Structure 1
Amino acid sequence: MLPSTSAVLSLGTSISANPYILPMPPKDDEDMHNPRDFLQRLSNGVESLLENFFINFVVENFYLDSLQLFGIRDFTWHQMYKEKSGYLVDYLDKMGFPKTSSTDLFSTCSHCVTPKNLSREYEEFMNDPKSNGTIYIAFGTNVLWEHAPEPVLDAFFGAVNELDEYKVIFSFNGKPRPVKKHVMLTKWAPQVEILTHPTMKMFVSHGGLKSVKEALCSKVPVIFMPMFAEQAFNVKLMLQMGVASVINKFTITKEKIVQAVHKVCLFCID
C-alpha cells in the first residue's frame, strides 16, 4: 500500500508527517492526525521504523517458510523490489494525506462499480413507506461475530432494535439473536446495490478499503468502527476529509451507537 514501508523507501514519504499505517483507532470524531503534535510525530516515526525492522528482518528470516514449497529458498525483499517489473497498488487515488510521486508511478484513477438490480427480498424490505430509510451494517468477511465480546454484541443488537424508525440490514455471521421486524439479519448482502438504493440513509462499517471506496462512490453518510490492520488509517483519512463519523471499539455502547446514528442523520439528505 502506498502509505506503507514501500512508499517510505522508494518515494521518500515522511514517516512522521502522515499517520502511521497501523495507528490506534480514533477515540472520536475529533481524533484526527495533527503533524504539529510532537508526540504523534514521534509515535509515527518509531512505529514506522519498527515496521521496517519487522518486515525486513523478522518476516524475511522467520515467517516465509511457505515459499520453500515453491522452490524459493533465498528470498529477500531487496531482491524482489530490485528485479520486479511492476508493483500493483490498490488505494484511494489522489485523495487524502500528502504523498510523493515519481515518473514511474502511474495512477489509473478511481473507479465506481455499476450496481446491479436488487433481489425482490431486499427491494420489498427497503421500500417500506412507513420507514425513514435504511441503515446498512457490515464489517466485512474477516470480522467473525461469533468471537465478539458480549458487551459489543449487546451494544449492536440493542441499538438496531431501538432504531425502529429505520429499516436495518445487518450483515452478521455470528449466532443469530432476537431482532424486531424492522431488522434483517443476513450472512451476506449485495453491498454495492444496497448502498446505492434510494432509501439508504447510513452505512456502518469497519473501514476496510473496499468499504471506504464503496461508501464514497455511493455518497452515503457513514459511521466507521475500525477493527484491525489499516482500517484505523483509512478512518483517520475519512475524518480528515470530513466525510465520516467514528465509534471506538473499546468504548462502544448501545447509547453511543444510537447517538452517532441520530447525529449523522441530522445531515442526511433525501
Structure 2
Amino acid sequence: MSPKRLCSLLLFIGFAATRFDLATTARILGFFPSPSISHLIIHAAVADTLAQAGHDVTVFGAAKNVYPNAKYKYIELERKTLDNAFIASMVQSSMSFYKQFGTFLESIATSANDSITNPRVQRFLQEHGPGDFDLVIAGYFMNDVHFGLAAHFQCPLIVSFMIQPVMTVNRMVANPSEFAYVPTLMAKQKQPMDFVARVKNLFAGIIEEMFISVFSNHLQQNLYEYNFPPDRYPPLDEVRKNVSLVFTNHHFSQGPIRPNVPNLIEIGGIQVKEKPDPLPTDIAKILDESKEGVIYFSLGSNIQGSHLTEEKIKIMFNVISKLPYKVLWKWAPNELPGESKNIIFREWLPQDDILAHPNIKLFITHGGMGSVVESQYHGVPMVGIPLFGDQPSNMANVVNSGYGLSVDYITMTEESLNSAIQDVLHNPKYKETVQKFSRLYRDRPMTPRQTVVYWVDYVLRHQGAKHMQSPAVHLNRWQLLSVDVIGFLLAIVLISAFVIIKVFKLICCCGKKNKLPKVKKAKQN
C-alpha cells in the first residue's frame, strides 16, 4: 500500500473513531424536576440507560435519587414533593379532573418555576454554557419553561414523557390528533368508537386544547420570558421547535392505535428491569413460602395515608384483613390502619421486583401508568382504586381490556371492593388475558433500553436529526387545518360565481333587448 493511501486510511480511521467516540461519550444533561417520584422513576431510567451505555450523564432531580447505584452524576434539588393538601383535595374531591385542571396547572407552573430558580440550578447555569453539553433531556410535566436549558447550552433537546402522549406532547412534534378514531387520554373511550364516543372524544379534545392553548401556554410563556430573557435567548415558540425526539412511556400494543411521526419514539416499560434485582431477604422469604399466592397493595409513590379519609382507610383494611392470603401493603408514613396477621406493612417496597415474582396473585393499585405497565409486563391481574389525574382513564382501559376491575374511590364500600377483589382472584379470565398481553407487550425488535440508546446516539450522530422533524411543526393552527387554502379556494369559487352570474345577466339583458318589438315612428304630415 502506498504511503499516500496509508495516510488517507489512517485519517479515515481516526475520523471514524472520533465520530464513534462523540456518539458514545456524549455529555448529556437530564433535567427531571417533577415533584412526583413516579415520574422521576421513568425519566431517571432513561438517564441510567444512557449512563450504562457509556455516556457522561448529569441529572437534576426533585427528590432523592431513585437509582442510587446508577452511573450518572445526580444533583438533588432538595425540594418538597407534591403538596399534601393539594393531593388530598384531588383525591377526596368528587369533581372531574377537568374542573380541577386550572388549579392543577397553576400548581405545576409554580413547581416548574421553583425548579429553574433553584440556587443549585442557577449556579450550575452560571458555571456552564454553550458547548458544555451535547444534549438536554427534559422530563416533561407541563414545564415548557425548562426547554430554555437547551437554548442555554445551544444543543439538541429530547423530551421524556411518562405516559401515552397527550395533546401538548403531540403538538411538540406535530403528531396528528385524529379525534375521529384516536381517543384522548382523559376521554376514557375504547377503540373502535361509535358515534356517541366520538362526540365525547371531540369535546374532551376541545376542552384539553383550550386549557393548553389559553391557560397553560400563557403561564409557561410568562415563566420562560422571566427566566430566559428575550435579549439573550430565542422565544419559547422557537425553542419548542428544537425538540429532536419525544420518548413516550407507551407502546402501541396498549392502545390506542394511532399514527405517529418518526420522532415520537415509544419506550413503554423503560422502568421495568429486564432482570429483576434480588428481593430483600424478609420479602423474598414471604413470597417464596406463600405457595397459595400473595397480594401486593400499593397506591403509588405520592399517596400517603393522610391523603385518604378515615372511612376509606377502614374500608380497605377491613376487606384486606379478611383475605386468606398474605398481603404486602405499601403504607407510609402515617399510623398503621390496623394490625392483622395476613398483612405486612412496609414504608417502601421494590414494586417491579415484587411483581416479577411468580407467586404474586393480584395487584391492588391506584392505576398510575407506571404501575399499570409493570403489572401488564409481568402478567399480574389488577384491582384498581384510581384517585386522580390519568388514573381513572388508565383503569378504564384496564377494565375494557379485561386485565382487571376498578372501584370508584368516592363511592367505595366494603362490598364493592371485596366483590372486585374476589372476582379477579377467582375468575381465571383476568389472569389469562393479562398474561397473554404480557407476551404481546414484550415481543419487540428492541427492548426499551436498547431503543433509547439507539435513538439518542442517532440524534447525536446527526446533530439533532432535523430531517426527522415533521414540516407541520412550522405551520400555525390555521395552516394545519388548511383554513387559508380553503379560504383561498372558496374566494376563487365565489369570485368565479359572481363573474359568471354577471356575464349571464349581461347576456340575458342583451338578448331581451334584441327581442323587443321595434316601434315604428308615426309619419309626420
Provide TM-score, normalisation by structure 2: 0.45
- Structure 1, residues 17-41: CA drift from partner, whole Å, max 9, x if none? 34332247xxxxxx96772151x33
* 1:194-209 matches, cutoff 5 A: 194-209=354-369
Deviation at 1:16, TM superposition (A): 4.8
Deviation at 1:209, TM superposition (A): 1.6
Q: Which region of structure 1 is more displaced relative to structure 2, 213-222 or 43-52?
A: 43-52
* Percent identical: 20
Deviation at 1:157, TM superposition (A): 0.7
Aligned residues: CA RMSD: 2.8
Does residue 59 of the first structure (1) align with residue 216 of the second (2)?
yes
Deviation at 1:88, TM superposition (A): 2.5
Q: Which runs of 5+ in 1 are unaligned?
A: 25-30
Structure 2 equivalent of residue 126 of structure 1: 287
Distance in 2, matches of 1:177 and 1:263, equals 25
Q: SS state of the match for residue 153, structure 1?
A: helix
Question: Hey, which bits of structure 1, 4+ residues long, moved more than 6 A?
Answer: 74-77
For residues 133 and 106 of structure 1, do their structure 2 counterparts lie closer, same or farther at Cα, with a shift above 3 Å needed? closer
Q: SS state of the match for residue 175, structure 1?
A: coil
Distance in 1, matches of 2:368 and 2:384, equals 9
Q: Which region of structure 1 is more displaced relative to structure 2, 219-228 or 5-14?
A: 5-14
Q: Which region of structure 1 is more displaced relative to structure 2, 186-195 or 62-71?
A: 62-71
Distance in 2, matches of 1:75 and 1:180, equals 60
* 1:175-186 matches, cutoff 5 A: 175-186=335-346
Structure 1 equivalent of residue 391 of structure 2: 231
* 1:152-163 matches, cutoff 5 A: 152-163=312-323
Q: Which structure would you say has the larger RCO, counting Cα contacts within 8 Å and 6 or more residues apart?
A: 1
Structure 1 equivalent of residue 166 of structure 2: 4
* 1:33-182 matches, cutoff 5 A: 35-38=193-196, 40-62=197-219, 65-67=222-224, 70-72=227-229, 78-108=237-267, 112-113=272-273, 114-129=275-290, 132-163=292-323, 165-173=324-332, 174-182=334-342
Structure 2 equivalent of residue 217 of structure 1: 377
Distance in 1, matches of 2:330 and 2:375, equals 16
Distance in 1, matches of 2:195 and 2:411, equals 24
Deviation at 1:241, TM superposition (A): 2.4
Q: Which region of structure 1 is more displaced relative to structure 2, 233-242 or 243-252?
A: 233-242
Distance in 2, matches of 1:108 and 1:180, equals 40
Provide TM-score, normalisation by structure 1: 0.83
Distance in 1, matches of 2:366 and 2:234, equals 34
Contact 1:20/1:233 (<8 A) preserved: no
Contact 1:33/1:240 (<8 A) preserved: no
Deviation at 1:137, TM superposition (A): 0.6
Q: Which has the higher helix share?
A: 2
Deviation at 1:93, TM superposition (A): 4.0
Q: SS state of the match for residue 254, structure 2?
A: coil
Q: Which region of structure 1 is more displaced relative to structure 2, 72-81 or 203-212?
A: 72-81
For residues 118 and 69 of structure 1, do their structure 2 counterparts lie closer, same or farther at Cα, with a shift above 3 Å needed? farther
Q: SS state of the match for residue 276, structure 2?
A: coil
Answer with 1 or 2: which has the greater Rg. Answer: 2
For residues 235 and 104 of structure 1, do their structure 2 counterparts lie closer, same or farther at Cα, with a shift above 3 Å needed? same
